[in-house]
């Protein structure tokens, strides 16, 4: 209990919680993007992928994964909010003039990209997982649901905005995560920047390739 109390009360401990949960969520996002790309292999491959997720460990696997993701998201949000409030409390009157010397645009928009992503995740689940936000949803037919869902330009636009927010969040998140986990040295900063930028571009491009391919008629 004393160890948990130390984590809760220490900003270093909460940053570590953010880094570890961020690493778990990064792994999920990367895997989810790779799974989405199976849409380019056709209906059989995409639907087989969806069936595997629901049948893994006789159906229990997906619930274990969801439980772990929910815990990671909850801890990540808790750590982020508590650290943000702590920073605000340390500077209650703010600065008369703000000069962004070392911070990046991505880091300054984390407070907005996070809530945007949270709202998108809720919509995304209702759209392509449970079907309440999808007027032609067919359980089990993942390929059809994706194609029809992204055939709507407003949906694709909203998805694009969310993925750009994800890109900003990912870039600063990966950079900070590696720093918190100990990869913080002037000799490594260039490699850390390259990895953060490369991973962000790969993931955002991978996710956006699906709705853009549907709109372009490549996937239909």
Domain positions in the chain are 2-216
CATH 1.10.357.20 holds for 2-216: no
Q: Given this model, what pLDDT does residue 101 score?
A: 44
Q: Across residues 127-144, what is the average pLDDT?
A: 94
Could you tell me which of 125, 111, 116, 109 has the C-alpha nearest to residue 69? 125
User: Could you report the per-residue pLDDT of 46-60, keeping only the tens digit for each?
Assistant: 999 999 998 998 889
Q: What is the pLDDT of residue 98?
A: 47
pLDDT tens digit sequence for 61-115: 999 999 999 999 999 999 988 888 887 777 655 545 444 444 555 556 677 888 8
Whether residue 141 has pLDDT greater than 70: yes
Calpha distance 213→42 (Å, rounded)? 13
- 134 to 35, 89, 145, 147, 204: CA distances (angstroms): 20, 43, 8, 11, 23
Nearest to 149 by CA among 162, 163, 131, 167: 131
Dihedral angle computed from the Cα positions of residues 84, 87, 92 and 97, in that order, rounded to the nearest 10 degrees: -100
214 vs 183, residue with greater confidence: 214
* Rounded distance between C-alpha atoms, residue 37 and residue 23, angstroms: 22
Distance CA 121, CA 167 (A): 15
C-alpha distances out from residue 24 to 7, 8, 21, 152, 177, Å: 18, 20, 5, 32, 11
Measured between alpha carbons, how far is residue 131 from residues 66, 135, 142, 219 in Å? Answer: 17, 8, 11, 20
Distances (CA, A) of 171 to 56, 140, 194: 32, 34, 10
| E strand residue ranges, 56-130 | none
Q: What is the pTM of this model?
A: 0.86
Judge whether residue 197 has pLDDT over 70: yes
């Amino acid at each position: 209990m004393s160890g948990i109390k130390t984590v809760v009360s220490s900003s270093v401990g909460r940053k570590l919680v953010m880094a570890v949960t961020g690493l778990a969520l990064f792994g999920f996002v990367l895997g989810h993007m790779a799974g989405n790309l199976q849409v380019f292999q056709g209906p059989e491959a995409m639907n087989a992928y969806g069936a595997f997720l629901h049948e893994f460990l006789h159906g229990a696997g997906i619930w274990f994964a969801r439980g772990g993701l929910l815990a990671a998201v909850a801890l990540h949000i808790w750590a982020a909010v508590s650290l943000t409030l702590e920073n605000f409390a340390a500077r209650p009157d703010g600065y008369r003039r703000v000069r962004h010397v070392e911070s990046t645009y991505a880091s300054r928009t984390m407070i907005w990209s996070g809530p945007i992503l949270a709202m998108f995740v809720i919509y995304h689940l209702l759209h392509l997982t449970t079907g309440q936000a999808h007027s032609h949803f067919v359980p089990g037919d993942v390929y059809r649901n994706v194609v029809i869902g992204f055939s709507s330009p407003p949906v694709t636009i909203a998805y694009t905005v969310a993925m750009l927010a994800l890109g900003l969040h990912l870039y600063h998140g990966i950079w900070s995560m590696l720093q918190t986990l100990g990869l913080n040295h002037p000799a490594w900063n260039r490699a850390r920047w390259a990895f953060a930028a490369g991973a962000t571009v790969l993931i955002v491009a991978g996710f956006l390739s699906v709705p853009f391919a549907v709109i372009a008629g490549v996937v239909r």
